[in-house]
Structure formats: structure tokens, C-alpha cells
Structure 1
Amino acid sequence: MSYPYQLKNFEDYQQAWQHSVTDPEGFWANVADHFYWRRKWDKVLEWDFKQPDVKWFTGAKLNITENCLDRHLGTLGNQPAIIWEPNDPEERHRILTYRELHNKVCQFANVLKNNGVKKGDRVCIYMGMIPELAIAVLACARIGAIHSVVFGGFSAQSIADRIQDAQATLVITCDGAFRGAKDIPLKSVIDDALMACPSVKKVIVCTRTRTPVSMLKGRDVWWEDEIKQVETMGNPPVPAEEMDAEDMLFILYTSGSTGKPKGVVHTCGGYMVYANYTFINAFQYKPGQVYFCTADIGWITGHSYIVYGPLSAGATTLMFEGVPTYPDAGRFWDIVDKFRVNVLYTAPTAIRSLMGFGLGPVNHKDLSSLTTLGTVGEPINEEAWHWYKDQIGKGRCPITDTWWQTETGGIMIAPIAGVTPEKPGYATLPMPGIQPVLVDENGKEIEGNGVNGNLCIKFPWPGMIRTTYGDHERCRTTYFATFENLYFTGDGCLRDEDGFYRITGRVDDVLNVSGHRIGTAEVENAINMHAGVVESAVVGYPHEIKGQGIYAFVISEKHVKDPELTKKDIMQTVARIIGPIAKPDKIQFVSGLPKTRSGKIMRRILRKIAEGELDNLGDTTTLLDPAVVEEIKHGKI
């Protein structure tokens, strides 16, 4: 199997990018021609950024699972599709070939149908990183149900919000999950969430940890029992549901700058083409290679680059249940050594954390199989980039430092491994099909090199967001209303003298903590739920492991007698409402917050204090009470 649209050298890249800009429809039609369509498109692209209204491959019919599974059976049926490495290295790993995966997806698709799921229904999936998670995702896509995967670290309240928004009718979960030294009680969290979710009629529970769980008669069923029932029926074949290219494939919730998470919607045709194209090119994937993305399928990285991108390319994708430091800090390197991993894609947070353990865990591990390294989730700092390049890649492996978002569906700006130049800390050049621009605060394009601005994209690409579920106006105002006729990424960006792009961080009120996007408003809402809190303001600050840490300034109702205990109580409240990933790293009690006379909190000032820039706060005379700033400065943690 070869990939006719794989770029081989820099000249290839330049030609492809030029073609994609001068004739985008011709460019993407050429790529899309290599997939299996039940019916070809009438029109490649229709678009209007004002509405916004974007349609790719109008009139085309397909099912993404036929492209991820069925079309490979003749040539790759016995090749590993998924290698699964459990949390406990003593437990046996599992390998599913393309044929086995296809069978299991069809089986579970039957289970979904038996439980009343039909095309267009929303299914919430809240599971640990086991092969059944990928099977559940693909089974939904096979019958045309819309999956909404929720990361297995979110709280009951966060899950309830997402289920209510999507009006999901069925939930798929596990009794529990293993993550490092922890057992996570997934089913009991779901039970708490469902107290507020009348739309859910059925819960399918997969056995993993053998944790005792409550099973409600008529609502809760065991995965294994349901599979037996399908086997008893003789495993009836499940033809893939015919989907329109613009039918919804999945909803994935992401934090916004307002408290309510927003459901990013991706559709079947364009997303498939884009996830596949970027996977094959960014990583320079070669048939037969073992590819290891360390993300969780609860995030977009797992959707695009563990499931849909690799499987549509006939790749071998490795899923890992655990964490990089369990049972010790050599776990990633053990996995690379054990499975002769060729491509490793991980987060700068993980790299920085592993750097802290020194070279002991790396030494004596055979990493010679590696050909390509990748990073995702946030910009990687230079020190971590060099450590990754020298100690893990042994100076041989190109690094693709990828910039993209839940909303973009796939990699947007990144060095194409070994094809385009790389530069530490830089996402470098756009993928073919991507037209980035920098604009000032008035939306005027900033031309030339050696400039800074707001990063926008001026032309549609197949993997882009179509809407926010149930609230199209929110999609318009968040991404398309700030600057006319442009998709606004929310990121600041530098374009250097060579024309390379470097992401400089969020310009809206969204934090990037360990590669997870968390809205400041969401954290503030959770802190304010604590009984003793009057008001709070949250900002990000540089954190040597996480990239950004969460710094909370909190006004309490009365004098805090035991600050440490109260801080723990507040953190517990945030963990219950959002999940442990949103717990503040620092909490400072204050008597007031810097506000303008109209009542707006000046987060710019708080951000500078949190960053330690105490002498460079700018003009504070316009504040309602400038003295508050001095008090906050003196109390800085």
C-alpha cells in the first residue's frame, strides 16, 4: 500500500501548498479520490464565513468505517490495527488485527441497535483507554449514531452538562479505569451524572477493574452480556449506514471563554479526508510502521490521531492505558522498545515531566526503531525540544511540533517530518490547504516577516468545525465574528524572518494546562460555588511542567482562619464540578479584585502579578480602587 498524496521532499511541499491555494477544490478532490465513496460529490466546496456555512464534498455518500476497516480487509486483514498496552506492565497486551477489529465493531454495532440506537442519536462514551473505547467509537460511526466521548477524568457535573447539551440517549462506560496507581470509579461517576439526565435510556457497562457497581434494572446492561446475545443471534452482519458527507460524525466538548462547554461538531466526509491526509504527511507514515500516540481518545488528538487518521491509512496504532511515570519514568521508553515503535507523538508536558527524572530511565532502552517524533497540545519550549531530539531521537529523528485545535479537526501548522525545515519552538509552515494570516486588533492583515499578530485562517479546509451543537450563533460569535471573513483561532502568533510561525499563546480567556484547554470562566464558576467564596478571578502563569498553571485570586466571605484547609476545600470543589485537571495550582486570598469603574475585572494586571512582573503593571489609575493592586502584589504567592 502506498500513499499517492504523500509529500517526499521540500519541492513536493511547495508545489502541493501552491496548488492547494490556487486551486483548493482541485487539490482536495485529488486527495479525496483515493477514498471509498458510495457516491461521489456534486461539488467539492461551498462556503460563507459570515454565517458561517461550510460544506465539503456536497452530495457525496460514504461511511467512515468502510474507509477505516472494510477497504483494508483484502490486503491488510491480518495486520495489527490496534496494539493495546495495559496500565500494569505485568498484564498481557492485546493485538487486534484489521479483521478482528472489523468483527468487534460490527458486533458492538449490533449491540447498539439492540439497545435502540439509530442513525442521528447521540451516544455519550465515558471509558478508560481500552480497545473497547475505540470499538465503541467506530460502532457508533458504523450505524450513523453521533458519538460524544468525554475524557475519563471529568466530574459527574461536567458529564451531566455534556449529556444534557447533546440530549444523549445512551451512555457507554466501564465499571472503572486504571490510570497509574489510581483506580477511577467511572460507573459511579456516571450514576451521579445521570440523576440530572432524563434523556438517557440505557447504559452499557464494560468490565475492566471489577469494581463493585450499582446496576439499575431496565437501564444498565453489561457489555459482555450484550455481546453474548449478539453471538447467540449468529452475529448478523451490520452493513455500514450510508451517510452524507456533511452528516454529523461526532460532537466533542471543549472549554470556551464563557462557563458553558461548547460542543464542536465534525462531519463525516471532510474530517475523514483531512485527518488521513495530515496523519500520512506530518508523520511521514510508512505502511507497516508502528505508530504510538500517547493521548487519550477523550481529546481530539485521540479521535484524529489514534482512531480515524491512522485506521483510514491502514496503519498500526498503539493505545496505552496508563501514564508515562507508572510504574516508573521509563514507561514510554519500555513501550517503544517492546513494540519497536517507529513514530511517537506526545505532549510537551509529558516530555518536561520525564526530563525531570534525568537520563536513568532512558539509558539501556533500545529506541533505535524510532524514525519520527511529534508533539501536540501546546508549543514546546526549546530546552524540552532539544532533550527530545537528542536523548529520545538520538539526533536522528525529525520532530513535528504540531499546532492545531479541537475545532480544526487536524494538524494545521507543523514541520512535515524530514520534508520541511524544523526550528525549535516553532510550528513553522502551514500544511497544504491551510492559509494562515496575522491580523491586528482591527482585523487588518499584517504582511511581511518578523511580525506579531492574531492568528486567523482565511480559507476553509475539509476538517474544520461546522457548528457548535444546538447553538450555531455561538459558533459564529466565537470563531467568525471577531474578524470579518476569517476564522479566528484565539491564538497570538509570531511570523519570523524566515516566514516560520510560532504560536505565542491564547489571546482570549482560555488557559492551556498540560495541553488541555480550560476556560477561566469555567474555573471561576466552580470556585464561586464554594460556600465561603464571594468572588474569584483566574489567570494563567508559566509552569515549568504544565506549560501554564492556574492561579486563582479569591475573595472569601469572612476572615480565613485556616488558609491551607480552605484552599484544599476550594480545590475539592473545583475537582467535583469540573474534574481534577482544573484544580488551581495557586490560590491567593484577597480583599478585592482590580476592577474598572464599570465592574470589569482587569485580568491583564492579575496575569502580570501571577507571572511575577510586579513593576510593570501599566496604568492602574483608571481602576475603581487602585490600592487593591498594591495589596495583591504584597500577598503574591
Structure 2
Amino acid sequence: MSSRYHAIYAAWQADPDAFWAEAAKGIDWFHPHDKVFDPELGVYGRWFPGATTNTCHNCLDRHVEQGRADQAALIYDSPITQARRTYSYKELLDQVQAMAVVMADRGIGKGDRVILYMPMIPEAVMAMLACARLGAIHSVVFGGFAAHELATRIDDATPKAIICASCGLEPGRTIAYKPLVDAAIDLAAHKPDNVLVIQRPQFAANLDRPGDVDLGVEMGKALAEGRKVPCTLVEATDPLYILYTSGTTGQPKGVVRDTGGHMVALKWSMENLYGVAPGEVFWAASDVGWVVGHSYIVYAPLLHGCTTVVFEGKPVGTPDAGVFWRVIADHKVVALFTAPTAFRAIKKEDPNGRFISDYDLSHFRTLFLAGERADPDTIRWAEERLQVPVIDHWWQTETGWAIVGNPVGLGQLPVKHGSPTVAMPGYDVRVLDDAGHPLPAGTLGNIVVKLPLPPGCLPTLWNADARFRSAYLDEFPGYYKTADAGVIDADGYLSIMARTDDIINVAGHRLSTGAMEEVLSGHPDVAECAVIGIADQLKGQLPCGFVVLKSGVNRSHADIEAELVKRVRDLIGPVAAFKIAITVDRLPKTRSGKILRGTMRQIADGQDYRMPATIDDPAILTEIEAALNAYGVRTKA
């Protein structure tokens, strides 16, 4: 079918208010908006002022009332514990109401903040929805964060309560959460009134401090008594949640998500971008601690009347590189959304995709990738083995949904490997030079979005309007700075080449590390890679490539590294001055799979660095330093 994208995008450009007013009809409002958008409110304007609504009502109550009571709302699948559980919309609503009752009994209400410190269990979703039901503002902190990092978020959000699980589970280990929460509260200046704990059977927490509550027991009482709590009416412009950006150092940066615009944008995206219908099963293989988990594990699928999957496992090792295909087959998933790093891990362990044929994937229609740059080699590997469209798209914690994508629901556009395709309605994306001047097509520069940002994007940072302006709006007046660099081609396709911090200057030439990574990842023996710029007295910076090889590669590392240097010279040119390729066993990543290039660069340049709060395994940084030293790069003065 031909795509309706260009007509839809043109309709948004011609009359943005009419476009979003029509999209807003997909949401239940208790009182309609005064204006679709008011540019005089907030930092750059606010969406749907005057309207009242409730996110929990739109995710659960209305579906129960309109015939979806018995449809599956949430499927929990944990290959770590072998547990599976399906909740219908009615059952999920009952559980959320029970949790909201327990919270309301402890004085939690409209505008109060609640920190959630949870693993991938159904109660994490219930806690988010229970907060929304009460009009409380949740702030999910990734389970397992160190006590100091949790303490900084407690002091910034000043929560009335913390909801946590007794433990999180990783393959082969159990992480006790309650001691981390207790230590964080001891470190924090702000003291929450209560800590509500879900006791998991794998590890029981001690509830021996004032304000500790066994949340499961109290929910059981509320269910047995049939207690209910109505949805609190909130303004469309009221905050739904605060989400602190990963890798935050010093003062936390709390992205605020408003209530009304968030629902309108996410509901629109499910049908038009992801091409998923109500009643179908949608799986975002992420974590509730990240923005993808907020938007596409919890809110968007439930707003749209879909079934969502909560998966407690890993793409490899729980038990093997076929677990994604098993989940898709078992639960009849039609669309999977995950990070490219997950597929690189699968490709590394199962380069020929032999596990795929073990499962019935006949219901599976589309694979969506986001969270970091999707290299063309990984996309081709997935296309060839899965025989479904593989859709790269690009967005940020700050935006909450896709800035650029390939709108399957409007009719898929041609795929250009390496590009997440085109701007979604609401986003006027430009590429500017450092002085703020527009650049011609095909020229590398700063990616910005013309204000106002569309519904669903952050209106500000928590209690920090001035910081919001300085971080995102001041450098390019009239635009939102994405801090990503890239190019827009003659067809309007955007390619994200690097964070602006990862544009390196080699003898006066601005070069993209992303372009070099694309070349390295195209080598048949390379599973994944990262390129950083390291300080050089002569050229300013030199590119340094780290590569992880596929399983079963038995060739000499020196031979492969020489081939990689030649590939970059042949495909990018001598101007890249690419001479350093280093084979390593693994790359340092955040728990969401983003490669910690900035920290690697600090190590290579011999700089002091702070251990990233989100790092998956700190030992990898020592391995990177040893690899650099073995190559001859001095990492210490």
C-alpha cells in the first residue's frame, strides 16, 4: 500500500491545533480543553490547558466499561523464575485499585511524589497506574541503583513514600533492594513517610523500620474487603511522572511528563507509527526504569486497549539466544520493540539465527529498534532471518515518543539502512551549524526541533525551569537542542550519526564516530563496536575503535584489526586517520544497553571519571583500560 505519511504530515503542518484536537478524541476527558495549545503558559507553551482527565481511567476503567474486561491486559513472563501470569483488564484494575487504597490510607494523594524502585514484575506496572489513579506523581528509579544515586533522587523529588520490591533477580544472583532503599533514606535529607514493600518469594526483606509496610498483605486485605478508590481528576497540564535521565551526575535532571498531551501522543503512535490494533499483543523488551518502559510497556499499549508483556529476563542467557522467539511464539506477539544492543547480543551468540526456526512466529509482523543507533549490519541480519520489516526509529527520554520513525500504521515508507526515516507529525526537525544557521541537505550538523515541541514531550524539568532553558533551549533560540548530530538527505530522511559530544575533530575535520562504527560493524566477524576520539597532540583527536567479535571466530585478532583499519580507510578515507582497532571481550554499557563512550574516552585520555550510576558491570572499565594499555595507549599520566 502507498503511505499516507506525507498527507498526514502536511495536515499537521497546515493546522497543528486541528491535528491534535482530532487526535485528542482518542482520550476520555472529564472536562474539555480551553485551548489545544497555549503558547503563553509554561516555558514554551502547554498542551490542552483547562482539560481534566485521569491516565489510569484511560488505561483501565474505560476498557473494562467498554467490553475489554476479560481481555488480557498484561502478561508477565519470567524465564528467571519460570513464573507466568496473565491479568485481564478487570483483574489488573482490581489490583491497581487495591494498591491505590493502601496508598490513600497512608495519606498519598494528588500532587504527592512516590518513588518506585522495582524490578520487572507486574506490581511495578500496578504501582505506576495506582499513582496515576490518585493523581500522585511517580518517579521510577531503576531497581538496583546504588544507594547514593537513589538518595539524590529522593532529595530532588521529595517523595511521600517509596514503593519497592524485596529483591531483583539477575541470572545467577539476587539483589536485595530493601537494604539499598534503607541506606538511601539514611543518606537523604528528605525522609519519606512510608516504604511499601512487595515481598518476593526468592528473598524476604526485613520490615523493621518505622513506616515499613508489607504492600502485598495490605493489598490482599483491600481486595478481600472489596474496597475501591475513584480516579482523581487532574489537569491535562498536571505532571504524571518524573523520570531522571540515565547517566546523571551531580544534581539529578528530572524530566517532567504531563498528563494530557502524553496520552494523546502515545495513543496516536500505537495505531499510526507502530501499526498495532486494540486487542493485539505488543511487547517492548525494555525495563520500567527507562522511558521505553514507561511509554511502551505501560502507558501506550494500555491506552490503546492492547495486551502488554512484562518480561523479566535477558535476550541471551535466560536460558539462551532463542528466548525472544519463545516469548513471541508463546504469547502471539505481533510487534516487538527493543534496543539494537539486544539484537547484537543475539547475533553474537547465534550468528546464523538457528533458534528462530524452533518457534512459530507466524503472528509476528514488525520489529522496532530504538534507544541507540541501529547499525545497518544488525538491521540486515534481523531482516534476513525474521523476514519481517525491521523499523529503526529515534527518540529521547525527554520526548517520550518518536521524533523520527517509519510510520507502519500509515503505510511503511522505503527503508534506508542507517536512517530512522522521517519526522513524525508534531516535529519540525532541522540541522543547524554551531552558529544556528541551516545546513544544506547531506551536511553533518546539530539536530534540533523547532518549538513548540508536540504533545507528550517534556514541558520542563522538575522544579528547574531555568535549567531546562539553559540545557535545551538557549543555545539555538526557537529550537529544542537534541544534543545529537546528523544529516537530513534530499528525501527528508534523517540519519543520527552521534551525540554531539561524539563528533571528533581530526586535524580540523569534523568526523562522525557513528559513520566509522557503521563501517566496522559491516565486517563479517564483528558483533558490535564503539568508536571514540582520543586526544592527540598532532591532530587534536584520533579515532579509536573497540570491537567485540562474534562467537566462534577463531582468526587472529591482529589480522581482523588490520582489515578493520583498511575498511575505514577504503570506505571513509584517509581523512579519518583511523589506525587503532582493539579487540575486547565486551563493551561497557548502561543497564538499558547504551554504550558508555564518554567514560571510555575519559579512560583513554587519562582523565578522572566518576563511575556511571547506570553501568551494568563496573569490571568492564578495567578491561577497557587494560586493552588500551596493551595496545600502547597510555591511560595514566
TM-score by length of 2: 0.80
Q: Establish whether residue 548 from structure 1 lines up as the match of residue 540 from structure 2.
A: no
Quick check: 1:265 aligned with 2:256? yes
Match of 1:494 in 2: 487
**Contact 2:604–2:633 (Cα < 8 Å) also in 1:** no
Is the contact between residue 542 and residue 611 of structure 1 (CA under 8 Å) also seen in structure 2? Answer: no
Q: CA deviation at 1:368?
A: 2.0
Gaps of 5+ in 1: 1-7, 514-519, 521-538, 558-566, 591-608, 615-631
Secondary structure, in 3 states, of the residue corresponding to 2:156?
helix
| 1:120-139 mapped onto 2 (5 Å cutoff) | 120-139=111-130
1:349 is matched with 341
1:556 and 1:46 mapped to 2: Cα distance? Answer: 48
2:38 to 20, 32, 46: 46
Which residue of 2 is the match for residue 192 of structure 1? 183
Q: For residues 361 and 184 of structure 1, do their structure 2 counterparts lie closer, same or farther at Cα, with a shift above 3 Å needed?
A: farther
Superposed, 1:78-117 pairs within 5 Å as 78-88=70-80, 91-117=82-108
Q: In structure 2, the residue corresponding to 1:454 is in which secondary structure? A: strand
Q: Deviations over 1:385-423 (max 9, x none)?
A: 0111111x22xx222211000100111101112522222
State the match for 1:279 in structure 2. 270
Cα distance change of structure 1 residues 260 and 123 upon mapping to structure 2, 3 Å threshold: same
* 1:485-507 alpha-carbon deviations (Å, 9 max, x no partner): 10010100111232210111111
1:238-387 to 2 correspondences below 5 Å: 238-255=229-246, 259-325=250-316, 326-358=318-350, 359-387=353-381
Aligned partner letter, 1:69: L
Q: What is the CA distance between 1:31 and its match in structure 2?
A: 0.7
Distance 1:587 1:372 in 2: 37
**Correspondence 1:68 to 2:117:** no
1:457-496 equivalent positions in 2, closer than 5 A: 457-459=449-451, 460-496=453-489
Is 1:214 equivalent to 2:206 in the alignment?
A: yes
**Superposition pairs for residues 425-436 of structure 1, below 5 Å?**
425-436=418-429
Q: 1: distance between equivalents of 2:169 and 2:25? A: 42
Amino acid of the structure 1 residue aligned with 2:90: R
Structure 2: segments with no counterpart, 5+ residues: 504-512, 518-531, 533-542, 549-586
Q: 1:17 aligns with which of 9, 28, 32?
A: 9
**Aligned partner letter, 2:358:** H
CA distance in 2, matches of 1:46, 1:350: 41
Distance in structure 1 (CA, Å) of the matches to 2:40 and 2:468:
13
- C-alpha offsets along residues 150-201 of structure 1, whole Å, 9 cap, x if unaligned? 1113111111111111011200011112233321211121121111234211
- Paired with 1:430 and 1:288, the residues of 2 have a C-alpha distance of 28
Quick check: 2:26–2:264 contact (8 Å CA) kept in 1? Answer: no
Distance verdict in 2 for CA 1:490–1:583, change over 3 Å: farther
Q: 1:620 is matched with which residue?
A: none
Q: Residue 125 of structure 2: SS of its match in structure 1?
A: helix
Look up the match of 1:574.
611
Verify the 8 A CA contact 1:36 1:67 in the aligned structure 2.
yes
What code does the residue aligned with 2:354 have?
A: G
Instruction: Say if 2:247 and 2:614, in contact at 8 Å, map to a contact too.
Output: no
* Cα drift, residue 143 of structure 1: 0.3
- Aligned amino acid, residue 424 of structure 1: H
> How many angstroms apart in 2 are the aligned matches of 1:252 and 1:582?
24
CA 1:184 to 1:156, structure 2 compared with 1: closer, same or farther past 3 Å? Answer: same
Say whether residues 1:171 and 2:162 are aligned partners.
yes
Pair 1:552–1:445, CA change in 2 (3 A): closer
For the 8 Å contact 1:343–1:370, the answer to whether it is kept is yes
Sort the Cα spacing of 1:579 and 1:356 in 2 relative to 1 into closer, same or farther, 3 A. Answer: closer
Structure 1's 19 and 188: CA in aligned 2 closer, same or farther, altered over 3 A? same
Determine if the alignment matches structure 1 residue 506 to structure 2 residue 506.
no
In 2, the alpha carbon distance for the partners of 1:145 and 1:336 equals 34
User: Of the two structures, which has the highest relative contact order with CA contacts closer than 8 Å and spacing of 6 or more?
Assistant: 1
Q: Is the 8 A contact 1:292 1:344 kept in 2?
A: yes
CA 1:356/1:63 → structure 2, altered by over 3 Å: closer, same or farther?
same
Once residues 555 and 378 of structure 1 are traced to their aligned partners in structure 2, the CA distance between those partners, rounded to angstroms, is 22
CA distance in 1: counterparts of 2:406 and 2:339, whole angstroms: 16
Instruction: Provide runs of 4+ in structure 1 moved above 6 Å.
Output: 509-513, 587-590, 609-612
TM-score, reference length from structure 1: 0.80
Does the CA contact (< 8 Å) of 1:541 and 1:611 recur in 2? no
Distance 1:271 1:541, change over 3 A: farther
Q: String of CA shifts for 1:313-347, please: whole Å, max 9, x gaps.
A: 00011110111111112111111121121111111
> How far apart, CA to CA, are the structure 2 residues paired with 1:257 and 1:140?
24
Distance (Å, rounded) in 1 between the aligned partners of 2:232 and 2:400 = 22
Task: After superposition, give the CA deviation of every residue in 1:561-588 in whole Å (9 maximum; x if it has no partner).
Answer: xxxxxx9xx99x837x665466663578
**Residue identity in the other structure for 2:621:** D
| Offset from partner CA, 1:571-630 (integer Å, 9 cap, x none) | 9x837x66546666357879xxxxxxxxxxxxxxxxxx9899x9xxxxxxxxxxxxxxxx
What letter is aligned with 2:52? K
- C-alpha displacement at 1:141, in angstroms? 0.4
Deviation string 1:212-239 (CA, Å, 9 cap, x unpaired) is 422124311111221133235x233211
Give identity over the alignment, percent: 34
What is the CA-CA distance between 1:270 and the residue it aligns to? 0.4
Q: Which residue of 1 aligns with 2:510?
A: none
Partner Cα distance (2:247, 2:45) in 1? 22
Classify 1:611/1:456 alpha carbon distance in 2 versus 1 (closer, same or farther; 3 Å): farther
